[in-house]
């Protein structure tokens, strides 16, 4: 019988290796979806009199929801408390940060690390502040100034 | 199932469970990496309607139940 090759990464020529996500989402798409999901929730929470405020507030308060969406970008669950605090204490700033990072993600394909830093969350590289956002991109502009001053 | 796939299951289910108009925007934006302008042009859609559909899509996703396997208590 022919030998069955199980070390696929070693034996399959590099040009034939499929590097995209099995579920059909690119890394860029996955990051963009996460950021816009969070940004959408922040936008609804920024309007206490809005139609969607109550249901969005209930969604944010259940950590299982944030857990699931953080898994989409393979982020640490330790981010959840910081994210919930940001949602509830400064939804407008979170919304603006998400809008900024969404634009960045659309161009660069990244975003989570910057998202965490922008929100002042701990990350593997250490915590940062909202003011650090303008180190990343030329479009930081007025939105970042507003965030830094908040 | 990896943690990524647990979390992504809602996003994948969306392709079956979202209303048709929301699904078109969703798949174009997050799976086909198509720009807002290109999608509006292709579907003959007003950009304001695109923005509304996108916001509604994200709300629809939030209403979808988190898979039990993604809950810490079930781990």
Express each pLDDT in B17-75 by its tens digit. 999 999 999 999 998 989 999 999 999 999 999 999 999 999 999 998 765 554 554 43
Residue with tokens 């807002």: B36
Express each pLDDT in A13-40 by its tens digit. 444 444 445 567 777 888 888 899 999 9
Single pTM value for the model: 0.72
Query: Cα(A133)–Cα(A150) distance, rounded to whole angstroms?
Result: 13
| Contact between B30 and A37 using a beta-carbon 8 Å cutoff | no
- Nearest by CB: A29 against B6, B30, B70: B30
Instruction: Dump the DSSP string for B4-29.
Output: HHHHHHHHHHHHHHS-HHHHHHHIII
| Contact between B63 and A55 using a beta-carbon 8 Å cutoff | yes
Query: Cα(B7)–Cα(B9) distance, rounded to whole angstroms?
Result: 6
Contact A93, A147 (CB under 8 A): yes
The minimum CA-CA distance between A142 and chain B, rounded to whole Å, is 22
Question: A19-41 in b/e burial notation, b at 16+ Cβ within 10 A?
Answer: eeeebebbbbbbbbbbbbbbbbb
Contact A69, B11 (CB under 8 A): no
The minimum CA-CA distance between B62 and chain A, rounded to whole Å, is 7
């Amino acid at each position: 019988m022919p030998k069955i090759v199980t070390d696929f990464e070693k034996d399959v020529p590099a040009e034939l290796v499929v590097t995209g996500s099995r579920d059909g989402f690119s890394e860029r798409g996955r990051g963009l979806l996460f950021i816009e999901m969070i940004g959408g929730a922040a936008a609804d929470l920024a309007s206490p009199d809005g139609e969607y405020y109550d249901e969005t507030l209930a969604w944010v308060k259940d950590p299982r929801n944030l857990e699931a969406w953080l898994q989409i970008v393979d982020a640490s669950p330790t981010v959840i408390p910081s994210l919930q605090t940001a949602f509830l204490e400064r939804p407008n700033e979170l919304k603006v940060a998400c809008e900024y990072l969404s634009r960045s993600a659309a161009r660069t394909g990244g975003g989570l690390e910057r998202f965490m830093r922008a929100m002042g969350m701990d990350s593997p590289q250490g915590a940062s502040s909202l003011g650090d956002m303008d180190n990343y991109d030329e479009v930081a502009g007025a939105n970042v100034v507003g965030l830094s001053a908040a | 199932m990896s943690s990524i796939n647990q979390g992504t299951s809602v996003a994948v289910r969306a392709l079956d469970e979202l209303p048709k108009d929301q699904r078109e925007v969703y798949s174009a934006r997050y799976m086909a990496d198509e720009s807002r302008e290109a999608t509006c042009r292709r579907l003959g859609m007003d950009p304001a309607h695109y923005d509304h559909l996108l916001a509604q899509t994200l709300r629809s996703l939030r209403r979808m139940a988190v898979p039990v396997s993604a809950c810490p208590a079930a781990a």
